[in-house]
């Protein structure tokens, strides 16, 4: 930087200290010695301010939880925790002596139930539901282990579960998805049903999975109560879902390619997750594709944001991610959208922060990634206008695809430089600003009657994955 004449250097938050085996380097202090100002930044708008002096508008308002969400999640959590008590009573009524292994499972279930009750008391309903679900799985596993049933009785139970699962799958497919809340609830439900399908096949080979299967189906039914809540309506038909899925796949694929260039070993698991999302695309399961691709993108971002971060700084990173997620959720609320999944993960990350910081990191990143999923869709009114313009053969000056393409490019640059806690709305603002500058330049040239000759295209072009219909 010094040899290039650079006077200011920005580094990602938490990455100004470099620790080697024999020494610790503070690059802020090193910069002072070299006459260079080094600053940590967490968000793209902070970086822009440092270089331009221009401040983007901050998100205004408080995080107000949707009353419909509170009521529904409270009901879900209460039902799951009540079920925990019922299953525990079944075990206690058996009055049999448990070996060390089964006693350990029982203790794990009791610990999870205790945490679930604390969540209910503090009105952290998603956290309560999550812990009580875990408790139910432990109790059910124990029940299935100690019960004495013939092979025929086990087969009959599985046949009944399969029939119930097939019926539930058909019913869910017929429920209209109109809002972002509907979409996120549908994501959760279909993911759980897909896992239930897998557990059903595994239970046929090993009945010990039956308890997990039962609770996974119950969990899907609980989340289905979120479907149909009021909110801003979007165009979420099959074509829109397919396009959003393809766009997200391309975006995440670009992030993974960046990772492969520098840390190929760490990209393997993420590529597997990406391939799973792509498989959903090929199977025309576009909702699951978007969900899986979004979570994979979050995991890639998390990796970049933790490079060079010391263990003692992890809590500050969690707080920064929670702050970014909160702003993004507030922005959604201001647009008439309550992102139920993003908020649930946000709440869960807060509650995991002290006891399980690693999980808090990933859930805070999930919350951030899923808090602006509306960017991939048009509202019903926007879709209506676009279709009307299309019928009249009126081209739109700036398409969503062009904005998304530039947004993804800037996102890739930010990720490559470690600036991963960036609200996507800020990136889109930058994209629109750049487009505005370009249009202004072209207009100026036109008014001066200057001819603009296109330059020869660069020999290297970014490759996107080829998505086959």
Does residue 341 form part of some domain? no
Q: Is the pTM of this model over 0.85?
A: no
Does residue 36 form part of some domain? yes
Does residue 45 form part of some domain? yes
Which residue would you say has higher pLDDT here, 386 or 112? 112
Dump pLDDT digits (tens) for 204-236. Answer: 999 889 999 999 999 999 999 999 888 889 999
Residue with the two structure tokens 């200290």: 17
Residue 466: the pLDDT is: 37
Residue of 188, 193, 124, 237 whose CA lies nearest to 339: 188
**pLDDT band at 4; cut points 50, 70, 90:** confident
Q: Is the per-residue pLDDT at 288 higher than 60? A: yes
Residue of 148, 175, 282 whose CA lies nearest to 229: 175
CB atoms within 10 A of CB 224: 20
Torsion angles phi and psi, residue 459, rounded to 5? -65, -25
Domain, as residue range, for 46 = 8-52
Residue ranges of E strands in 109-266:
none
Dump pLDDT digits (tens) for 21-52. Answer: 677 777 777 777 777 878 777 667 777 777 77
Cα angle vertex 30, ends 25, 34, to 5°? 155
Does residue 402 form part of some domain? no
Strand partners, 38: 9
Going by their DSSP bridges, the two strands 17-19 and 24-26 should be labelled as: antiparallel
DSSP letter for 55, please. -
Residue 311: the pLDDT is: 85
Which residue would you say has higher pLDDT here, 436 or 53? 53
Does residue 389 form part of some domain? no
Strand partners, 12: 41
Dist CA 46 CA 54 (whole Å): 9
Dist CA 334 CA 59 (whole Å): 9
Angle in degrees, 0-180, between the axes of helices 400-416 and 286-306, rounded to the nearest 10: 30
Across all residues in the chain, what is the average pLDDT? Answer: 82
Dump pLDDT digits (tens) for 150-202. Answer: 889 999 999 999 999 999 999 998 899 999 999 999 999 999 999 999 999 99
Domain count, the chain: 1
Residue 430: the pLDDT is: 55
Does residue 21 form part of some domain? yes
Dump pLDDT digits (tens) for 92-117. Answer: 888 788 889 999 999 999 999 999 99
Which residue would you say has higher pLDDT here, 392 or 257? 257
Residue 399: the pLDDT is: 46
Residue 252: the pLDDT is: 95
Q: Is the per-residue pLDDT at 353 higher than 50? A: yes
Does residue 35 form part of some domain? yes
**pLDDT band at 382; cut points 50, 70, 90:** confident
Which residue would you say has higher pLDDT here, 390 or 114? 114
CB 301 within 8 A of CB 259: no
Residue 85: the pLDDT is: 96
Half-sphere exposure of 297 (CA within 13 A, CB side): 28
Dist CA 160 CA 242 (whole Å): 34
Dump pLDDT digits (tens) for 314-342. Answer: 999 999 999 999 999 999 999 889 999 99
Residue 56: the pLDDT is: 67
Distances, alpha carbon 85 to alpha carbons 80, 106, 140, 223, 351, in Å: 9, 12, 12, 20, 22
**pLDDT band at 292; cut points 50, 70, 90:** very high
Average pLDDT on 367-388 reads 87
Dist CA 266 CA 280 (whole Å): 23
**pLDDT band at 138; cut points 50, 70, 90:** very high
Residue 465: the pLDDT is: 37
> Which of left, alpha, beta for 355 (phi over 0: left; psi -120 to 50: alpha)?
alpha
């Amino acid at each position: 930087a010094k040899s290039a004449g650079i006077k200011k250097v920005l580094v990602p938050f938490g990455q100004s200290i470099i620790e080697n085996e024999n020494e610790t380097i503070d690059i802020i202090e090193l910069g002072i010695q070299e006459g260079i100002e080094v600053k940590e930044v967490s968000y793209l708008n902070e970086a822009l301010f440092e270089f331009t002096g221009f401040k983007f508008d901050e998100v205004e308002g408080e995080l107000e939880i949707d009353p419909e969400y509170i009521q529904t999640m409270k009901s879900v959590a209460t039902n799951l925790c009540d079920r925990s008590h019922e299953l525990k009573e079944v075990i206690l009524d058996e009055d049999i002596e448990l070996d060390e292994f089964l006693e350990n499972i029982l203790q794990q279930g009791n610990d999870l139930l205790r945490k679930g009750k604390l969540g209910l008391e503090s009105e952290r309903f998603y956290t309560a539901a999550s812990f009580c679900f875990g408790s139910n799985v432990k109790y059910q596993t124990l029940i299935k282990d100690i019960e004495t049933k013939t092979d025929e009785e086990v087969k009959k139970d599985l046949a009944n579960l399969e029939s119930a699962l097939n019926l539930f799958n058909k019913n869910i497919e017929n429920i209209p998805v109109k809002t972002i809340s509907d979409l996120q609830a549908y994501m959760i439900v279909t993911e759980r049903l897909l896992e239930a399908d897998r557990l059903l096949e595994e239970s046929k080979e090993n009945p010990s999975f039956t308890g997990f299967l039962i609770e996974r189906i119950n969990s899907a039914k609980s989340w289905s109560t979120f479907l149909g809540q009021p909110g801003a309506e979007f165009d979420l038909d099959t074509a829109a879902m397919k396009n959003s899925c393809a766009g997200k796949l391309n975006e995440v694929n670009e992030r993974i390619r960046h990772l492969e260039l520098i840390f190929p070993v760490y990209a393997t698991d993420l590529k597997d997750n990406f391939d799973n999302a792509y498989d959903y695309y090929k199977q025309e399961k576009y909702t699951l594709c978007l969900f899986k691709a979004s979570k994979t993108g979050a995991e890639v971002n998390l990796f970049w944001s933790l490079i060079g971060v010391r263990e003692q700084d992890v809590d500050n990173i969690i707080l920064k991610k929670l702050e970014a997620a909160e702003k993004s959720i507030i922005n959604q609320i201001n647009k008439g959208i309550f992102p139920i999944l993003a908020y649930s993960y946000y709440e869960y990350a807060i509650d995991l922060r002290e006891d399980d910081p690693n999980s808090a990191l990933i859930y805070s990143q999930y919350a951030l990634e899923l808090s602006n999923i509306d960017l991939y869709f048009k509202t019903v009114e926007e879709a209506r206008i676009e279709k009307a313009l299309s019928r009249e053969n009126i081209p739109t000056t700036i398409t969503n695809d062009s904005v998304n393409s530039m947004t993804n490019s800037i996102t890739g640059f930010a990720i490559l430089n470690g600036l991963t806690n960036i609200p996507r709305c800020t990136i889109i603002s930058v994209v629109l600003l750049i487009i505005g500058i370009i249009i202004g330049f072209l207009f100026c040239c036109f008014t001066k009657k200057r001819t603009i000759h296109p330059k020869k295209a660069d020999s290297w072009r970014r490759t996107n994955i080829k998505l086959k219909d």
